[in-house]
Structure 1
Amino acid sequence: MKIIQLEYFVAVVNYNSFTKAANYLHISQPSLTTTIKKMEEDLGYDLLIRTTKDIKITEKGIQFYHYAQDLIQHYHQTLEKMHDLNMSHAPKIKLSILESTNQWISQIISNHRRYNQDQTYYVAEVHDQNKILEQLLNFENHIAITNEKIEHENIESIKLYEESYVLLTPENVFNKRETKAVAHYPLIVPMKGSQVRKHIDEYFNRMNVHPNIVIEVSRFEAATNYVHKGMGYAIIPQVYYQSFNTRNLEIVTIKPKIKRAIYINYLKKRKHPKRVLSLINQCIDFWKFRE
């Protein structure tokens, strides 16, 4: 197999189009199509699934894509890896999640693995929206959970649920489970740059009040620890209150409410294995029956 063939394949994946890739490579589309088909015949497995509407890349095609990029520069060092793609074991399912979703994600993965006992998973917390998008587009992750909809033509972004932000307090601090003067309390909030902090700042800007922020943290776990120490009250997503760290604490309803939506995201053009699709559907169904 020649380097130029690998460059042809990488171009088709990058452009998600034989026509655009052919124009970029300055060759005819039939010639490009023939080259890709010949590569698949030589390898013994499909790299791409073609339909009348679009192109989807297979799991083995994704792995080949990553190797092909290296092969263009290091052909002789990675040629053997290219043929190792024809493996039989189930690929690892990779997810990026939010800290606040750990509790329910763990339930779903536990149930999913009950029916797929040889399946392995890679779960990482990622909160940077740009990084999440990059990982999906580069086939690094199968699934991403976000607290904002991803607006991209190649990403399917489905809303799972809405939740309110609440005030996390020690027990028996308030007689009623709601307050209208949140800004005046000593608040523990996420650091600037996070999506949660953006939601909170926008809320107080709309209310035209200056919040009494005493501590800024990078994780809800840290915020919860400071509440346990009596150093202030944390603004957290309501679902996070289900976590182990919030034992012996209470939540107070914030009025007017601060809300956010949680989305599940995946790459449209990727030929996902049935197990990945099953996991996606389990996430959707988990929240569908809780509305």
Structure 2
Amino acid sequence: MKIIQLEYFIKVVELNSFTKAAQVLHISQPSLTAAIKKLENELDYPLLNRTTKEIKITEKGILFYQYAAELVSHYQQTAEKMYDLKRSAEPKIKLSILESTAQWISSVTQQHHREYPDQSYQITEMMDHSQIIQRLISYDDQLALSNEAIHHADIESIQLYEEDYLLLVPPEEFEDDAISLQGLPLILPNKQYQVRKHLDDYFTRLNYRMNIVMEVDRFEAATYFVRNGMGYAVIPRVYYQSLNADYLSVIPISPSLSRSIYINYAKKRKHSERVLSLVRLCQNYWAIR
């Protein structure tokens, strides 16, 4: 069984026609028909039922199509990565970041690039804790930032800094030095994000009632809704400091709530000196602040 046979079968299923598939694949229809028949013979079960009027996919054919599509997609992604290696002597450094860290990580990456001008990078925002772990242990990313320590046997987790959460409000709306969140109309992250878990745990610990008026994916979206009077958002201090926040203010939360930011990498992976250098630059950036 070859990848090209799977690609032929997938195209026939997607177009529901040998004629159309042959045209798209730039082969003759008899050659395509023969290739599918050979695939069925190798499998020893039919994938398609053919009549003069139509093609129907069998139950086993449906399952085989799903597996084949996944396999071909993985093959294509792998081929693309191999092509990237051919074009560049140095593989991309792939780094997952949090939305709130974009400003400072851009400064660190700029410094790193001055040391290694031929280096390229792939930056992905990743806020789901389980996905961060999965991308590291599956070697999709070399490095990842997280908003709490990752406790996993195969992952090294290094604390970079600690920051408070603050309440984002319209200017001059409150005169308090610090404020309780109880009863306030809040714009919070959606349930799947670690920041939301921090806040849920905080409210549970204090036995507070949450008054959620809106749930969003990004802090950036929350700032627009705060500006338009929909409610107040809880955001990390470093994110506020990176905002153009002339139109918004922050108030400390009482009792206080904080988090730590970590840089993480897979222990078993052989990291290049360039990757380790980027880790050190992240550590140095916060060591002097």
**TM-based fold match above 0.5:** yes
Partner of 1:89 in structure 2?
Answer: 89
Distance of 1:136 and 1:157 partners within structure 2: 11
How many angstroms does 1:175 deviate by? 1.9
1:209-220 matches, cutoff 5 A: 209-220=208-219
CA RMSD, aligned part only? 2.5
Q: Give the gaps of 5 or more residues in structure 1.
A: 1-69
Shift of 1:248: 2.2
Contact 1:103-1:242 at 8 Å conserved across structures: no
Partner residue of 1:103? 103
The Cα shift of 1:159 comes to 0.8
Kept in 2: contact 1:136–1:267 (CA 8 A): yes
In the alignment, structure 1 residue 270 sits paired with structure 2 residue 269: yes
**1:162-177 maps to which residues of 2 (within 5 A)?**
162-177=162-177
Distance 1:167 1:84 in 2: 44
The alpha-carbon distance between structure 1 residues 86 and 214, as it changes in their structure 2 partners (threshold 3 A), is closer
Deviations along 1:212-270, one digit per CA (max 9) or x if unpaired, are: 21111111011011011121110111111023353321110001111111110011121
| Rg comparison, structure with higher value | 2
The one-letter amino acid of 1:259's match is S
Task: Give the match's secondary structure for 1:246.
Answer: coil
CA gap 1:247/1:82 in 2 versus in 1, 3 angstroms: closer
| Partner Cα distance (2:272, 2:131) in 1 | 23
Q: In structure 2, what is the Cα distance between the partners aligned to 1:176 and 1:240?
A: 22
Is the Cα contact below 8 Å between 2:189 and 2:218 reproduced in 1?
Answer: yes
Aligned to 1:178, the other structure's residue is in SS state coil
**Which whole-Å CA distance do the structure 2 matches of 1:248 and 1:132 have between them?**
33
TM-score by length of 2: 0.69
Q: After superposition, give the CA deviation of every residue in 1:94-124 in whole Å (9 maximum; x if it has no partner).
A: 0001111111111111111122211111000
Instruction: Give the AA of the match of 1:186.
Output: P
Q: Distance in 1 between matches of 2:265 and 2:83?
A: 27
Contact 1:221 1:245 in 2 (8 A): no
Is the 2:129–2:193 contact (alpha carbons within 8 Å) kept by the matching residues of 1?
no
CA displacement, residues 181-227 of structure 1 (integer Å, 9 cap, x when unaligned): 32222111111121111110111111111022111111101101101
* Secondary structure at the counterpart of residue 184 of structure 1: coil
User: Residues of 2 paired with 1:145 and 1:101: CA distance?
Assistant: 8
Aligned-partner SS, 2:94: strand
Q: CA deviation at 1:177?
A: 3.3
Q: TM-score, normalised by structure 1?
A: 0.68
The answer as to whether partners of 1:224 and 1:246 remain within 8 angstroms in 2 is: no
Partners in 1 of 2:88 and 2:144 — Cα distance? Answer: 25
Aligned to 2:222: 223
Determine helix, strand or coil for the equivalent of 2:89.
coil
8 Å CA contact retained: 2:188, 2:196: yes
Cα 1:170–1:272 change in 2 (3 A) is: same
AA of the residue aligned to 1:192:
K
In structure 2, the CA distance between the partners of 1:118 and 1:257, relative to structure 1 (3 Å rule), is same
Q: Please identify, of 245-254 and 117-126, the stretch whose mean Cα deviation from structure 2 is larger.
A: 245-254
Opposite residue 272 of structure 2, the aligned amino acid is P
Conserved 8 A contact 2:94-2:122: yes
Rounded Cα–Cα distance in structure 1 between residues aligned with 2:264 and 2:97: 10
Q: Which residue of 1 aligns with 2:137?
A: 137
Contact 2:85 2:91 in 1 (8 A): no
Aligned 8 A contact 2:97 2:124 in 1 = yes
Matched pairs, number? 215
What corresponds to 1:150 in structure 2?
150
CA contact (8 A) 2:160 2:260 kept: yes
Deviations along 1:75-112, one digit per CA (max 9) or x if unpaired, are xxx99x98996876111110001111111111111111
Taking the aligned partners of 1:84 and 1:258, their CA distance within structure 2 comes to: 43
Gaps of 5+ in 2: 1-70
> Taking structure 1 as reference, are residues 89 and 170 closer, same or farther at Cα in structure 2, changes over 3 Å only?
same
